[in-house]
Each structure stands twice: as C-alpha cells, then as structure tokens.
Amino acid sequence: MKKNLFQNMKKTSRKNLVTYLICFSFFAAVRIMGATDNLTRHFSSLLVPICINVILAVSLNLVIGFLGELSLGHAGFMSVGAYAGCLFAIKFKEILPAAVRLPLAMLVGGMVAALFGLLVGIPVLRLKGDYLAIVTLAFGEILRSVIINLNFTGGASGLKGTPQDATFTAGFAAVILTLFVILNLADSKHGRAIMSLRENAIAASSVGINANGYKLMVFSLSAFFAGIAGVLYGSSVSILSASTFDYNKSIEILVMVVLGGMGSIRGSVIAAALITILPESMRALADYRMLIYALALIVMMILGTSEKFMLLRHALSPRRLLSKAVKHFRYKKEGQNNG
C-alpha cells in the first residue's frame, strides 16, 4: 500500500503537526471573523489572555508533565518577567517603535525570569517532591511581597505607563515560538533525558544523565516562557499590580495543565483556551466557578488512578472505536468478495 506524506511522518511529528494546525486554524478563524465583523468586542478582549494562558500552561507543563516536579510558583516567574519587560518598554517608549519594542521587552522579561528560574533551581537540586513544591510556593510569595515593597516597581499601587503593545498577532507569534521550542525539546535527546528523570531519577543518573543540569535547564526554560507571558500581560493592562500574581494564579495555571493532561502539550493548549473562554461566557455560573475547578481537580485525579476507569476509557477511546469499525467493515467486504 502506498503511504502518503502524513503517514510517512514520525508519530511525534504527526502529533505536533496537529497541534500547530489547531493553533493556526484558530488564528485564521479569528482573523476571518474579524474581517467579516463577526467578532464581538467581548471575545476580542479575550484573545490576548488566551495567548498568555496558553504560554503559561505549556511552560508549566514542561516542569510538571515532563520533569515530574510540582512548581507552585509559576505566577512568581510571570511577575518578575512582567516587571522587567514593562520597565524596559517604559524606558524605550520614545526611542523604539512598537514592533521592535515588544519582542525586545519579551526577551528582557524572559531572560530575567530565567535568571530567577536558575535561582529557584539551585534549592531544587537538593529537594524534591512536596518540599520542592513548597519552596517554589515560598519563592512566589517572597517575590510578590518584595515587589510590593519596592519603589521602582510602583509598589502597592502598581506600575503605570507601559505602552499597550500586546496584540493578538504578537501573542500568537509568542505562542507558536513557545510551542516550537517545547515540542522540539520534548522530541529530542534532551527531552527524553528529562522524561527519564521523571520515570526514575536514580536509574536515569546511573546511565549517565546529568540530573542536576537538566533540572536547572527545565526550570529556567519554563521560567523564561512564563516571563514572556508576563510581558504580554503587562503590555495588555493599564496598571500592572503585583497582587495579581499570587498563589491562586499559580493554582489556576496548574488547573489548566492538569485538566489538559500532564505531559500533553496539545491538552494544555486546549485547556488553557477553554478555561479562559468558558468562565466569561458562563456568567450565570460565575459563583460556582471555583467550586467546579476544585471538583474537576479532585475527580480527574481520582479517575486517573482508578484502574476500572482507565480500562473503560481505553475501550471507549474514539480512535479505538474507529479502527474497530473500519476492521469490521473491511472484514465484511472481504467476506462478500470471497462469497
């Protein structure tokens, strides 16, 4: 049987292609809706937040899904990046045009956040599991209280005057860049090394994988993208206030990663987009939103470890049902030909 190009690809590249296609078709759909005036003002105000959340969820998934460590301080990295990038953008407001300013601000924010990621990464090398989670939480809280008490960050009243550069196109470009880096990393030698640390750290180091180096790399890379998301956020709000980046923000990103499936980049993208859109479109359920999040987290975890449910899920998976139907159909056809 002659295979087409799509079937000839590696399984992972095929999966990645689908992820990119989802993003590009969303982008195209929004652009077409915009051109034909079908875009409500309300929905277009959600476009940049969707990009921000997708970047945050994908980058947190790198730590949780691929490295297998829980970070509860993702909002902290986001805040550091946001402040660094916004201060940069304010300084160069008059000198640089927006098209240069925003990418440079993102780079600055990302680099500063990555530096803090390294800083957090150092205790990470000595700690793991629950201890690590609590240290990242502590870092996030420390960053927040320090930023509120500093002068050049605008203190408790927030940072004003950042040029409003964040557009959907810029956000989309940042999403694609994030996906490109992380998907390629996951499919490389380094990605497999990181995943082997998740499966069994001792076994991985015994075959010569540099556990400390990879952990630092994952933490700083994840922080880098959180910083980029922070700059996007900072360039889309009129007042950047440190109180936004609290523990609850980190949990919100965690919810996106968990609902999308830990270790699944495509899942994170879809979950982040849905969690951004749904609460806004279901105003009636606004009071119950947190309750639903909480129940979703608990139920997902319990079902995920229940063997019966996993068997049921496997039996009912669309791909399996489809291939079964195809086989059945083929078998019938062959039977007719023979008879």
**Rounded distance between C-alpha atoms, residue 303 and residue 301, angstroms:** 6
Binding status of residue 287 toward other proteins by CB under 8 A? yes
Can you tell me which of 16, 108, 141, 224 binds other proteins, judged by CB under 8 A? 141
Stretch that binds other proteins, among 76-84, 108-116, 138-146, 170-178 (CB under 8 A): 138-146
71 C-beta neighbours (distance < 10 Å), count? 31
Stretch that binds other proteins, among 27-35, 105-113, 187-195, 291-299 (CB under 8 A): 291-299
Q: Smallest gap, in angstroms, from Cβ of residue 46 to other proteins? A: 23
Q: Rule CB under 8 A: which of 170-209 touch other proteins?
A: 202
Can you tell me which of 131, 180, 329, 331 binds other proteins, judged by CB under 8 A? 131
239: DSSP letter: E
**Rounded distance between C-alpha atoms, residue 296 and residue 3, angstroms:** 41
Can you tell me which of 25, 306, 317, 323 binds other proteins, judged by CB under 8 A? 306
Can you tell me which of 51, 57, 70, 194 binds other proteins, judged by CB under 8 A? 70
**Rounded distance between C-alpha atoms, residue 136 and residue 124, angstroms:** 9
Binding status of residue 243 toward other proteins by CB under 8 A? no
Q: Smallest gap, in angstroms, from Cβ of residue 282 to other proteins? A: 15
Mind giving me the DSSP string for 157-212? G-EE-------HHHHHHHHHHHHHHHHHHHTSHHHHHHHHHHH-HHHHHHTT--HH
Q: Rule CB under 8 A: which of 6-35 touch other proteins?
A: none
Can you tell me which of 8, 14, 40, 129 binds other proteins, judged by CB under 8 A? 129
Lookup: tokens for 324: 């079964």
Amino acid identity at 317: S
Kindly report the CA angle at 52 between 281 and 223, in degrees rounded to 5? 145
Stretch that binds other proteins, among 39-47, 127-135, 231-239, 329-337 (CB under 8 A): 127-135
Binding status of residue 254 toward other proteins by CB under 8 A? yes
* Contact between 110 and 224 (Cβ < 8 Å): yes
Binding status of residue 157 toward other proteins by CB under 8 A? no
63: DSSP letter: I
Please identify, using beta-carbon distances, which residue of 98 and 201 lies nearer to other proteins.
Answer: 201
Q: Smallest gap, in angstroms, from Cβ of residue 272 to other proteins? A: 17
SS3 128: coil
Binding status of residue 295 toward other proteins by CB under 8 A? yes
Binding status of residue 68 toward other proteins by CB under 8 A? yes
Please identify, using beta-carbon distances, which residue of 155 and 163 lies nearer to other proteins.
Answer: 155
Can you tell me which of 258, 269, 270, 271 binds other proteins, judged by CB under 8 A? 258
* Contact between 215 and 197 (Cβ < 8 Å): yes
Please identify, using beta-carbon distances, which residue of 76 and 191 lies nearer to other proteins.
Answer: 76
Q: Smallest gap, in angstroms, from Cβ of residue 199 to other proteins? A: 11
Binding status of residue 158 toward other proteins by CB under 8 A? no
Q: Smallest gap, in angstroms, from Cβ of residue 321 to other proteins? A: 27
Locate all alpha helices (DSSP H) within the chain, ordered by sequence: 5-8, 11-35, 41-44, 47-61, 74-91, 98-124, 129-149, 168-186, 189-199, 201-206, 211-234, 247-260, 265-281, 289-305, 307-315, 318-338
Strand-strand pairing, 159-160 and 239-240: antiparallel
Kindly report the CA angle at 269 between 261 and 35, in degrees rounded to 5? 155
Residues that bind other proteins (rule: CB under 8 A) add up to a total of: 42
Residues that bind other proteins (CB under 8 A): 64, 68, 70, 123, 126-127, 129-131, 133-135, 137-139, 141-142, 145-146, 148-149, 202, 247, 251, 254, 258, 262, 287-288, 290-291, 293-298, 301-302, 304-306
